[in-house]
Amino acid sequence: MTADDAAAVRPPLPQPGPDTAEFWAACRRHELRIQRCGACRRCRFAPRPACPSCGALRFRWVRASGFGRVYSWTVIHGPTLPAFQPLVPYAAGVVLLDEGVFMVGQIRGCAPEALREGLRVRVEFDDVTDDIALPHWRVVRERSRSTRARAGARRARRLP
Amino acid sequence: MAPPAVARVRGSAPRRGRRPPAPAIVGIGQTPFARQLGISETDVAVRAIVAALDDAGLAVRDVDGLCCYDIESTGIAGVVATLGLERVRFFSTHSHGGGAYCAVIASAADAIRAGRASVVLAFRARNRGRRSSFGRGATEGGRPWEKIEPRIAGFYQWQVPFGVVAPVHEMALIARRYMLDYGATEEHFGAVAVTMRSHAVRNPRALMRQPITLADHRASRWVAEPLRLLDCCLESDGGCAVVLTAMDRARDLRQRPVRIQAAAQCLGPAHHHPHDWFAFERRRWMRAAAARLWGEAGLAPADVDVAMVYDHFTPMVLLALEDWGFCAPGEAGPLAARGAFAWPDGQVPVNTHGGQLSEAFIHGFNNLGEAVRQLRGTSSCQVPDAEVVFVAAAASDPYGALVLVR
> Which positions in chain B touch A72 (Cβ < 8 Å)?
173-174, 176-177, 180, 274, 278
With a cut of 60, say whether residue A152 has pLDDT above it: no
Chain B within 8 Å of A90 (Cβ-Cβ)?
yes
Q: What is the CATH code of the structural domain delimited by B23-130?
A: 3.40.47.10
Q: Which of residues 45-84 of B touch A (CB under 8 A)?
A: none
> Which positions in chain A touch B145 (Cβ < 8 Å)?
81
Among B189, B275, B285, most A C-beta atoms within 10 A, so best to mutate, is B275
Whole-structure pTM value: 0.93
> Which positions in chain B touch A103 (Cβ < 8 Å)?
158, 275
Helices (H) and strands (E) in chain A, counts: 3, 9
With a cut of 90, say whether residue A80 has pLDDT above it: yes
Per-residue model confidence (pLDDT) at position A160: 38
- B112 neighbors B21 (Cβ within 8 angstroms): yes
Average pLDDT, chain A: 90
Chain B within 8 Å of A120 (Cβ-Cβ)?
no
DSSP-based helix, strand, coil % in chain A, nearest 5:
25, 35, 40
Which residue, among B28, B76, B35, has the nearest Cα to B361 in the 3D structure? B35
With a cut of 80, say whether residue A158 has pLDDT above it: no
With a cut of 80, say whether residue A148 has pLDDT above it: no
Per-residue model confidence (pLDDT) at position A155: 47
From A52, A76, A83, residue closest to B224, measured CB to CB: A76
Phi, psi of B314 (to 5 degrees): -55, -45
pLDDT-derived band of residue A146, with 50, 70 and 90 as boundaries?
low
- A26 neighbors A14 (Cβ within 8 angstroms): no
Flag if B146 and A102 touch (Cβ within 8 Å): no
Q: Please tell me the distance in Å from A35's CA to the nearest CA on chain B.
A: 14
> Which positions in chain A touch B173 (Cβ < 8 Å)?
72-74, 92-94, 104
pLDDT-derived band of residue A157, with 50, 70 and 90 as boundaries?
very low
pLDDT-derived band of residue A112, with 50, 70 and 90 as boundaries?
very high
- How far apart CA A83 and CA A30 sit, in angstroms, is 22
Is A74 strand, coil or helix? strand
Q: Please tell me the distance in Å from A8's CA to the nearest CA on chain B.
A: 9
With a cut of 60, say whether residue A154 has pLDDT above it: no
> Which positions in chain B touch A111 (Cβ < 8 Å)?
none
Per-residue model confidence (pLDDT) at position B130: 86
For B301-328, write each residue's pLDDT tens digit.
999 999 999 999 999 999 999 999 999 9
Chain B within 8 Å of A21 (Cβ-Cβ)?
no
Flag if B222 and A80 touch (Cβ within 8 Å): no
- Give the Å distances, CA to CA, from B143 to B34, B118, B135, B136: 15, 36, 11, 10
Average pLDDT over residues A40-56: 97
CA atoms within 13 A on the CB side of B382: 10
- B276 neighbors A53 (Cβ within 8 angstroms): no
Per-residue model confidence (pLDDT) at position A138: 98
The residue of chain B with its CA nearest to that of A93 is B173
- How far apart CA B342 and CA B210 sit, in angstroms, is 16
Task: Spell out where B174-311 has E strands.
Answer: 222-225, 227-228, 237-246, 258-266, 306-309
pLDDT-derived band of residue A159, with 50, 70 and 90 as boundaries?
very low
Q: Please tell me the distance in Å from B273's CA to the nearest CA on chain A.
A: 9
Per-residue model confidence (pLDDT) at position A147: 54
Average pLDDT over residues A7-29: 93
From B152, B164, B276, residue closest to A92, measured CB to CB: B164
From B148, B172, B223, residue closest to A12, measured CB to CB: B148
Taking 70 as the pLDDT cut, the residues of chain B under it are 1-17, 272
Per-residue model confidence (pLDDT) at position A9: 81
Per-residue model confidence (pLDDT) at position B97: 85
For A113-123, write each residue's pLDDT tens digit.
999 999 999 99
Per-residue model confidence (pLDDT) at position B12: 44
Residues pairing with A108 in the sheet: A138
Domain ranges of chain B: 23-130
The residue of chain A with its CA nearest to that of B270 is A52
Per-residue model confidence (pLDDT) at position A96: 98
Average pLDDT over residues A116-138: 97
CA atoms within 13 A on the CB side of B129: 18
Per-residue model confidence (pLDDT) at position A149: 56
- DSSP letter at B350? B
ipTM of the complex, rounded to two decimals: 0.92
Q: Please tell me the distance in Å from B226's CA to the nearest CA on chain A.
A: 7
Q: What's the CA dihedral at B289, B295, B296, B297 to 10 degrees?
A: 110
Flag if B155 and A46 touch (Cβ within 8 Å): yes
Chain B within 8 Å of A32 (Cβ-Cβ)?
no
Q: Please tell me the distance in Å from A151's CA to the nearest CA on chain B.
A: 29
Flag if A79 and B173 touch (Cβ within 8 Å): no
Q: Please tell me the distance in Å from A43's CA to the nearest CA on chain B.
A: 11
From A46, A104, A112, residue closest to B162, measured CB to CB: A104
Q: Please tell me the distance in Å from A28's CA to the nearest CA on chain B.
A: 15
- How far apart CA B328 and CA B324 sit, in angstroms, is 9
The residue of chain A with its CA nearest to that of B174 is A72
Per-residue model confidence (pLDDT) at position B236: 96
With a cut of 80, say whether residue A150 has pLDDT above it: no
